């Protein structure tokens, strides 16, 4: 049976996902087989495994860090918010249905067998399981039925390392306050503390380490530096989504839909010198970018309605008429069509007219498409003719079925009309050929030549994961981490 260690945070976005990925890579470098595990994840950034299961994007990245194939075993429960009070519930990689939050909380303990079965199967296959908690372990109104923090640690008998985020301030209140709110037997399960996202001279924080250890009775396993490597963020708390001015020669504007999903599709463009990506949620901020991208969304009809409410629908159409290309992925592709209908209420019931930029219609059904895919671009007119023949691989995850009456964009479907194009494939830009061609074409439209190299996102991610692991290894007492795992609970 595998050894284990669990990372719990004092709150959301303290860096648990990145530290989990770092430990997975470190254990791999040290010759161990390791796997990530998160019993319940709430995120709109998801990934499709080889066998068609849907899991959190973070667990897929952590599996990549460990050098193993992502599996539904690593994330048995995924919640994808569809409204402010409800989510699509995915169990073992497949949709169970939509639930209001109150209903889910009443029934989630029934999913414990699924969680334990997944964990036990992983533990039988690997040397080490790195478990990630969610949010805070001391949300006192939710603790009674906890299946993702201390409740899970007890079930799988895992020692815990508690992580705080010093960059957001209040590190002593975060760590010591969390320990104070835990039950005594839970606090005993916390074997070490970690201070994450430190900037500056660490010698100035030695007194802080002493205070934390004296007040808590726990060892500080490390003060981890703020790592500037380029690794995909998990959810809408990402700093990448903050509105900012264009600072590159090429300005790519991504529409920040309220239920935006899989915005990691566009991280690849940040690797190209002179290219900036910004997220736009106001019509007044759209400006005149070089490329507009409409991303995926978990609530296509609601987000199409939002585009009209804020006036971005008109601005996008105006920019297209001015010759600015527009590309849509998944829900963004659906939005670019003529109509979107949800007769079965799979996301939000009703029907709405789309932007009408593509000659296609979308109808939602109760069955979800989940598959990895690969293909190539067909010949096209307009801006996207630069992609003709380019090959790609990625994955599809969507409820709707889109019927295209116009020109097919790729061998996997999609559509184009002039400078407008869209398809269902997430990760379609990760290929160095696809992203490289787009960037070169964008430079050409400004009368410039891109002299940099095309970048393969997958190779780049491997390099960044090594940088992350190297940085964390320097800052974390790995001898203590191994000892904690060996001693267990």
Beta strands in 66-218 (DSSP E): 77-83, 86-91, 94-100, 128-132, 160-165, 190-198
SS3 (DSSP) at 247? coil
For 330-353, letters b (16+ CB in 10 Å) and e give bbbbbbbbeebebeeebbbeeebe
pLDDT of residue 237: 52
Which residue from 297, 358, 330 is spatially nearest to 426, judged by alpha carbons? 330
Under 8 Å between Cβ of 44 and 54: no
Which is the catalytic residue, given 24, 330, 404, 412?
330
pLDDT of residue 40: 96
Query: How far, in Å, CA of 420 to CA of 414, rounded?
Result: 11
For 148-177, letters b (16+ CB in 10 Å) and e give bbbbbbeebebbbbbbbbbeeeebeebbbe
pLDDT of residue 242: 64
CA 469 to chain centroid, in Å, comes to 19
pLDDT of residue 345: 81
pLDDT of residue 229: 82
What element of type H or E holds 394? Answer: strand 391-404
Largest CA distance in the chain: 69
DSSP 38-61: -SEEE-S-EEE-TTS-EEEHHHHH
pLDDT of residue 349: 76
pLDDT of residue 16: 95
Query: How far, in Å, CA of 245 to CA of 284, rounded?
Result: 12
Orientation of helix 171-181 relative to helix 206-216, angle to 10°: 10
CA atoms within 13 A on the CB side of 213: 11
CATH 3.40.50.880 placement within the chain: 250-447
CATH 3.40.50.300 placement within the chain: 3-231+463-487
Which residue from 135, 180, 190 is spatially nearest to 14, judged by alpha carbons? 135
Query: How far, in Å, CA of 133 to CA of 276, rounded?
Result: 33
Query: How far, in Å, CA of 487 to CA of 479, rounded?
Result: 12
Query: How far, in Å, CA of 258 to CA of 279, rounded?
Result: 11
Q: Please indicate whether residue 426 is annotated as part of the active site.
A: yes
Cβ atoms < 10 Å from Cβ of 284? 10
The CATH number of domain 3-231+463-487 is 3.40.920.10 = no
DSSP 257-315: -TTEE-GGGGGGGGGSTTEEEEEE-SGGGT-S-SEEEE-EES-HHHHHHHHHHHTHHHH
CA 181 to chain centroid, in Å, comes to 30
Cα dihedral 200, 202, 203, 204 in deg (nearest 10): 60
pTM: 0.90
Query: How far, in Å, CA of 428 to CA of 447, rounded?
Result: 26
pLDDT of residue 278: 95
Token couple for 456: 């393969």
Beta strands in 175-257 (DSSP E): 190-198, 219-225, 250-255
Q: Please indicate whether residue 360 is annotated as part of the active site.
A: no
Q: Please state which CATH number belongs to domain 250-447.
A: 3.40.50.880
pLDDT in tens, the chain (489 residues): 899 999 999 999 999 999 999 999 999 999 999 999 999 999 888 999 999 999 999 999 999 999 999 999 999 999 998 877 788 999 999 999 888 888 888 888 899 999 999 999 999 999 999 999 999 999 998 888 899 999 999 999 999 999 999 999 999 999 999 999 999 999 999 999 999 999 999 999 999 999 999 999 999 999 999 988 888 766 555 566 665 666 789 999 999 999 999 988 999 998 899 999 999 999 999 999 999 999 999 899 999 999 999 999 999 999 999 999 999 999 999 999 999 999 888 777 789 999 999 999 999 988 888 999 999 999 988 999 999 999 999 999 998 899 999 899 999 999 999 999 999 999 999 988 999 999 999 999 999 999 888 777 888 899 999 999 999 999 999 999 999 999 998
Query: In sequence order, which residues have a C-beta less than 8 Å from that of residue 144 and are 6 or more positions away?
Result: none
Question: What CA–CA distances, in Å, run from 244 to 239, 247, 265, 286, 295?
Answer: 10, 9, 19, 11, 18
Which is the catalytic residue, given 360, 404, 417, 426?
426
What element of type H or E holds 401? Answer: strand 391-404
Per DSSP, what are the bridge partners of residue 370? 397
**Tokens 């660490």 — which residue?**
202
């Amino acid at each position: 049976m595998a050894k284990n260690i669990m990372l719990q945070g004092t709150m959301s976005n303290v860096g648990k996902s990145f530290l989990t990925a770092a430990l997975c890579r470190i254990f791999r470098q040290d010759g161990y087989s390791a796997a990530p595990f998160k019993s319940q994840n709430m995120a709109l950034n998801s990934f499709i495994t080889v066998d068609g299961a849907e899991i959190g994007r973070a667990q897929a990245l952590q599996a990549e860090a460990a050098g193993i194939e992502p599996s539904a075993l690593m994330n048995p429960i995924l919640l994808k918010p569809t409204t402010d009070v409800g989510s699509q519930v995915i169990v073992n990689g497949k949709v169970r249905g939509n639930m209001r939050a109150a209903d889910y909380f009443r029934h989630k303990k029934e999913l414990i067998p699924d969680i334990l079965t997944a964990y036990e199967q992983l533990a039988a296959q690997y040397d080490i399981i790195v478990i990630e908690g969610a949010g805070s372990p001391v949300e006192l109104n939710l603790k009674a039925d906890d299946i993702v923090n201390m409740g899970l640690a007890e079930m799988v008998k895992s020692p815990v390392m508690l992580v705080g985020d010093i960059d957001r301030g209040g590190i002593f209140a975060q760590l010591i306050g969390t320990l104070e709110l835990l039950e005594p037997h839970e606090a005993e399960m916390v074997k070490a503390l970690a201070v994450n996202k430190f900037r500056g001279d660490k010698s100035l924080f030695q007194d802080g380490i002493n205070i934390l250890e004296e007040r808590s009775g726990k060892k500080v396993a490390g003060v981890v530096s703020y790592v500037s490597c380029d690794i995909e963020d998990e959810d809408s708390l990402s700093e990448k989504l903050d509105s900012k001015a264009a600072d590159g020669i090429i300005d790519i504007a991504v529409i920040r839909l309220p239920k935006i999903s899989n915005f990691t599709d566009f991280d690849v463009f940040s690797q190209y010198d002179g290219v900036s990506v910004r997220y736009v949620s106001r019509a007044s901020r759209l400006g005149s970018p070089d490329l507009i991208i409409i991303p995926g969304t978990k609530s296509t009809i609601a987000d199409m309605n939002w585009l009209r409410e804020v006036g971005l629908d008109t601005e996008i159409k105006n920019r297209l008429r001015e010759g600015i290309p527009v590309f849509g992925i998944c829900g963004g592709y659906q939005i670019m069509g003529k109509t979107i209908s949800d007769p079965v209420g799979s996301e939000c019931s009703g029907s709405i007219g789309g932007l009408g930029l593509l000659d296609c219609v979308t109808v939602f059904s109760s069955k979800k498409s989940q598959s990895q895919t690969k293909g190539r671009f067909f010949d096209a007119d307009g801006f996207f003719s630069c992609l003709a023949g380019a090959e790609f691989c990625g994955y599809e995850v969507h409820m709707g079925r889109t019927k295209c009456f116009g020109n097919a964009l790729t061998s996997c479907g999609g559509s184009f009309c002039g400078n407008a194009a869209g398809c269902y494939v997430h990760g379609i830009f990760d290929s160095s050929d696809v992203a490289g061609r787009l960037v070169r074409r964008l430079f050409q439209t400004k009368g410039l030549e891109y002299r940099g190299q095309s970048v393969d996102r997958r190779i780049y991610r491997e390099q960044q994961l090594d940088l992350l692991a190297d940085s964390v290894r320097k800052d974390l007492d790995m001898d203590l981490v191994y000892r904690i795992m060996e001693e267990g609970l």
